[in-house]
Structure 1
């Protein structure tokens, strides 16, 4: 299996090849705005950022966002720390792993949280229609897809298997992008998939069955992801960081209060059909991180060998 450090290295190469220009915040003489690049994953989670851009929340604070797409947080972390772009969206596990290895990342704004409600979360562990598998412990010896090995979704699935009385070490985890999981599951290339929206609704529309809610199993209302920067960028550009924080907070609050507009904006940066978007379960976008849930995730990360000692959360969290 690929280790977290290898994923970080791969991410550096990915963004070195795909990013261009300075990430320090380039000015646009015609608009008077400062353009900042943000590493994101094209999933429901980042809808508030797109919506905030559309509503003018960032422009009102002198910023114009340029979205840089990646498969997961493990690839976005090195994009930020190497200076390819100043901000990124990453799951909490990738940030914990980075800090445990001395990588100077710091969260600046909340990202998303699980709904905390079994059967009504924006994420789930699914099997295809007609599968004989009905519970997490039955995944022993089976092939389960996650978007990144040795990361938050693998940790979450392992906890679901563990709580169900199974041995997570016997599960065969494979790495696959979220948007590739519906087809792979339907064609029998994998036995189960740990997905987030909109892949969750896509698989359910194909008759897929949810057998667990791994993010809910980790902790109640788990803080799943956050927006972050590097300590270097934060020190050199405190004004831009402050404006980004304020605009992101406004975007999160607006998204939480306007689900219909969230669904509309998702259709502008994903290829999800409108009929599927109507069924999408939205995550929660609270203003602040749930520290207790992050501590629980850190303990599981130690148990699963992602790092030996939990990093100092005071140095990571805003």
Structure 2
């Protein structure tokens, strides 16, 4: 993520420190039966103010949720470390998540389900960047350096580690430190880090404002087209609200198809819920917006996590995916 900002995103926190409650996760408010026989007429959905969840806002603007008899209330989240407990407590019904954090949570016994896809990496959407006058010219030069990431042990560190390995280095050859995407450029300029793993719109912003340059695109080779982010709910919520979930899935899939086929729809939506202005929205590099959640692609993330010891044993991601409206 993938992208923000507490990002791409693409950007969601390490789940290792979470102490999720064991309550049922039945929903954000008492159930109120709605049109079309929905178990809940209104749901709260967590999302980051970044390009990844743009389909949520396209669906709102186009009336796709309304067509399903569903009212969706977007809730701005700061990252997975906050969103995971929120769906467990019922403060949120569904939330944005990055897949590394979700798979890590599942490996620790968290009862979650992935309910829809959101964002997939594309070239030049997640980059390792350095100041223009930095002596660092390539990934191999990062040995002994500090690399800023939005969160530890999530998609950021995994993506950087794959590039380190390709350059003959390991994860322990660098020091990772956390810094929110919006603060990363200034932090590196101030000497708090030597390089940063950065996503849009901050790639474009740091190039234009600070003259940063890219030393590596982290979504190439084995991480090309890597699934980054999706929508998540608790297993209990999915079981208790099958018609509501199906309505959400249909509307989101329709909006994802629109985003995928017409960039102008994305550009129009971004300024409505992010700090990205229209000029920047037209300039940034975007990833893909899949309309279906494909287990084969997602398995690639779990397999990379096993290889780099983010999880201790293999995970079949099919067990984490909630059924689509078509079964």
Common topology (TM > 0.5):
yes
Distance in 2, matches of 1:36 and 1:62, equals 11
The answer on whether the counterparts of 1:156 and 1:218 sit within 8 Å (CA) in structure 2 is no
- Aligned CA RMSD, in angstroms, stands at 2.4
Q: Is the 8 A contact 2:145 2:174 kept in 1?
A: yes
Structure 2 alignment gaps of length 5 or more: 1-12, 22-26, 323-327
Distance 1:144 1:71, change over 3 A: farther
Alignment correspondent of 1:16: none
The equivalent residue for 1:223 is: 227
Segment drifting more, 153-162 vs 193-202: 193-202
**1: CA distance between counterparts of 2:215 and 2:29?**
42
Distance in 1 (CA, whole Å) between partners of 2:32 and 2:203 is 37
In the alignment, does 2:301 pair up with 1:315? no
Alignment of 1:98-117 (within 5 A): 98-115=105-122, 117=123
Q: Where does structure 1 differ by over 3 angstroms across 4 or more consecutive aligned residues?
A: 21-29, 289-293
In 1, distance between residues paired with 2:31 and 2:198?
34
Aligned residue for 1:90? 97
Distance of aligned partners of 1:295 and 1:28 in 2 relative to their CA distance in 1, 3 Å threshold: closer
Matching of residues 60-139 of structure 1 within 5 Å: 60-115=67-122, 117=123, 121-139=124-142
3-state SS of the aligned residue for 2:41?
A: strand
Corresponding position: 1:277 with 2:281 = yes
Q: Please show how residues 233-244 of structure 1 align to structure 2 within 5 Å.
A: 233-244=237-248
Q: Is the 8 A contact 2:160 2:218 kept in 1?
A: yes
For residues 134 and 287 of structure 2, what CA distance do their matches in structure 1 show? 27
For the residues of structure 2 that align with 1:199 and 1:304, how far apart are their CA atoms?
27
Aligned pairs for 1:10-49 within 5 A: 22-23=28-29, 34-49=41-56
Q: Secondary structure at the match of 1:154?
A: helix
- Paired residue for 2:216? 212
Q: Please give the TM-score of this superposition, normalised by the length of structure 2.
A: 0.84
- The residue matched to 1:174 in structure 2 has which SS? strand
- Does residue 254 of the first structure (1) align with residue 250 of the second (2)? no
What SS does structure 2 have at the residue aligned with 1:288?
coil
In structure 2, distance between residues paired with 1:64 and 1:280: 31
- Equivalent residue of 1:65, what SS? strand
In structure 2, the CA distance between the partners of 1:34 and 1:179, relative to structure 1 (3 Å rule), is farther
C-alpha contact (below 8 Å) 2:299/2:316 kept by paired residues:
no
Give deviations 1:166-217, integer Å, cap 9, x for gaps: 2221211111222222322333322111122111211121321111121334
| Number of residue-to-residue matches in the alignment | 301
Aligned partner of 1:5 among 16, 19, 42 = 16
Greater mean deviation of Cα atoms: 281-290 or 54-63: 281-290
Q: Structure 1: where are the runs of 5+ without partners?
A: 13-20
| Aligned mates of 1:269, 1:77 — CA distance in 2 | 21
| Distance (Å, rounded) in 2 between the aligned partners of 1:158 and 1:150 | 10
SS of alignment partner, residue 58 of structure 1: helix
Q: Could you tell me the TM-score, scaled by structure 1's length?
A: 0.87
Name the CA distance, whole Å, in 2 between partners of 1:290 and 1:204: 34
CA–CA separation in structure 2 for the residues paired with 1:28 and 1:183: 48
Q: CA deviation at 1:292?
A: 3.8
Query: Could you tell which deviates more after superposition, 226-235 or 264-273?
Result: 264-273
CA–CA distance in structure 1, aligned partners of residues 312 and 231 of structure 2? 25
Q: CA deviation at 1:234?
A: 0.8
CA drift at 1:251:
0.8
Which residue does the alignment assign to 1:17?
none
SS of residue in 2 equivalent to 1:266: helix
Q: Distance in 2 between matches of 1:140 and 1:183?
A: 22
**8 Å CA contact retained: 2:163, 2:218:** yes
Alignment of 1:140-151 (within 5 A): 140-151=143-154
Partner of residue 190, structure 2 = 187
